[in-house]
């Protein structure tokens, strides 16, 4: 193995994998997911290939429910236990972002929740950047897939409410 090959970082390998995906054409699962939200596929793939975050518009194909980090990870676990569909979930500096159907969470009344919609942007790493790997302090907990799966907003609401109740009991 050459010295250059042994000195490559995880990020280098991720960028190389993304370049290979892009070279295979713009019909990759990631491209379909990007196309569905209305972003420019070429710009998005170029950002990922250069190790940058892509900027995707919110409110076209999905909205974002942002929960605090600790609670967000617990909600992911809870959603798995109840076997609720879970679409892409992103851990970012501001919290854990769940992608939900457009307008499905606009009236949430639980504490420490942000619902992001039309006119806002989500900055995402390539779908190959999955925990424990990070890019610009972001990682996919659940990466986007080819099928257009999103979190069920009602199940997500219930899981977050249960998590808040559980965590408040544990702090007493």
Q: What percent of the chain is predicted at pLDDT more than 90? A: 67
Model pLDDT, residue 112:
95
Q: Is 139 helix (H, G, I), strand (E, B) or coil?
A: strand
Residue span of the structural domain in which 73 resides: 3-170
Q: Are 22 and 43 in contact (CB under 8 A)?
A: no
What are the distances in angstroms from CA 54 to CA 3, 48, 105, 166? 31, 7, 24, 35
Closest CA to 102 of 145, 150, 56: 150
The domain total for the chain is 1
Q: Is the pLDDT of residue 106 over 60?
A: yes
Model pLDDT, residue 13:
56
Q: What is the pTM of this model?
A: 0.82
Q: What is the pLDDT of residues 110-158, one digit of tens each?
A: 999 999 999 999 999 999 999 999 999 999 999 988 777 899 999 999 9
Which of 30 and 149 is assigned the larger pLDDT?
A: 149
Q: Is the pLDDT of residue 18 over 60?
A: no
SS3 readout for 79-113: HHHCCCCCCCEEEECCEEEEEECCCCCCCCCCCCC
What is the Cα–Cα distance from 36 to 168, expressed in whole angstroms?
A: 39
pLDDT confidence bin for 33, thresholds 50/70/90: confident
What are the distances in angstroms from CA 7 to CA 4, 12, 15, 20, 149? 5, 9, 15, 20, 37
Q: Is 130 helix (H, G, I), strand (E, B) or coil?
A: strand
Q: Based on the number of CB atoms within 10 Å of its own CB, is 82 exposed (0-12), middle (13-18) or buried (19 or more)?
A: exposed
Tell me which DSSP letter residue 53 carries: P
């Amino acid at each position: 193995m050459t010295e250059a090959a042994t000195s490559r970082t995880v990020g280098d390998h991720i960028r190389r994998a993304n370049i290979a995906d892009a070279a295979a054409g713009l019909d990759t699962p990631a491209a379909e997911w990007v196309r569905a939200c209305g972003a420019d596929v070429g710009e998005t793939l170029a950002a990922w290939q250069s190790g940058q975050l892509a900027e995707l518009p919110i409110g076209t194909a999905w909205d974002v429910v942002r929960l605090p980090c600790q609670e967000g990870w617990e909600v992911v676990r809870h959603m798995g236990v109840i076997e609720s569909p879970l679409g892409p979930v992103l851990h970012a500096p501001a919290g854990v972002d769940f992608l939900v159907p457009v307008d499905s969470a606009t009236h949430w009344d639980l504490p420490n929740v942000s619902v992001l919609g039309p006119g806002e942007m989500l900055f995402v790493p390539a779908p190959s950047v999955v925990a424990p790997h990070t890019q610009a302090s972001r990682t996919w907990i659940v990466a986007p897939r080819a099928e257009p799966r999103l979190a069920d907003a009602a199940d997500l609401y219930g899981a977050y409410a249960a998590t808040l109740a559980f965590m408040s009991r544990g702090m007493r």
